[in-house]
Chain A
Amino acid sequence: DAKTTQPTSMDCAEGRAANLPCNHSTISGNEYVYWYRQIHSQGPQYIIHGLKNNETNEMASLIITEDRKSSTLILPHATLRDTAVYYCIVRGINQGGKLIFGQGTELSVKP
């Protein structure tokens, strides 16, 4: 599975868009990009995933560059409850589809 690189931490003002970058320059053609988040003391929560097209759901948008070497998770109107660690994961279909979690980005949404 490809390795990902994310900033260790980011701040965002409440009500603003939070843009969380992820670098995955070694991604291969059949690997998806997944985003999860973990709010303190809770289990990780699935947010969104994509292969090569941009995706949007009720939680967030995922923008994947044309060469697929990086992506950005966008929370359009961040709230205090979005304060969490955000994990970008790249995964293919192998070994039962296990997820390899890196260190993630600690997002702090401030009033």
Chain B
Amino acid sequence: DAGITQSPRHKVTETGTPVTLRCHQTENHRYMYWYRQDPGHGLRLIHYSYGVKDTDKGEVSDGYSVSRSKTEDFLLTLESATSSQTSVYFCAIKVVAEGNEQFFGPGTRLTVL
């Protein structure tokens, strides 16, 4: 599992509330990613980070912000949650090697009522 944990694993919240999801890694990888997965859409990239304080947008970044103040933690924030953000969220790290393969965390199931 490449030492990746996500918290919380499940969360139910109400529309308009702020929500922060945490991804934690123990192996000092530089690259980290946040994806969401919805039926019929597969996995879609939200934001990614290529180092401390270095982040960039993915294909579905609207309504999300991220922060990376230290190597091991990558936070995803929904400033004001909406029902369309109900999804399963996966964090991933990239192993910088010949193949640059990515390894995923166990996921966070978020429900916005």
Contact = CB atoms under 8 A, between A and B. Distances in A.
Q: Tell whether A pairs with B.
A: yes
Interface of A: 32, 34, 41-46, 49, 87, 93, 95-104
Contacts of A98: 33, 45, 48, 58
A43 B106 contact: yes
B39 to A, nearest CB: 11
Range class of the B interface residue count: 20 to 34
A99 B99 CA distance: 12
- The secondary structure that dominates the A interface is loop
B101 A42 contact: no
Contacts, number: 52
A43 B101 contact: no
Max chain B CB contacts within 10 Å: which of A41, A98, A101, A104? Answer: A98
A42 B107 contact: yes
A46 B103 CA distance: 7
12 contacts: A32-B100, A41-B107, A43-B104, A43-B107, A44-B90, A49-B101, A87-B42, A97-B94, A98-B45, A99-B45, A99-B102, A101-B35
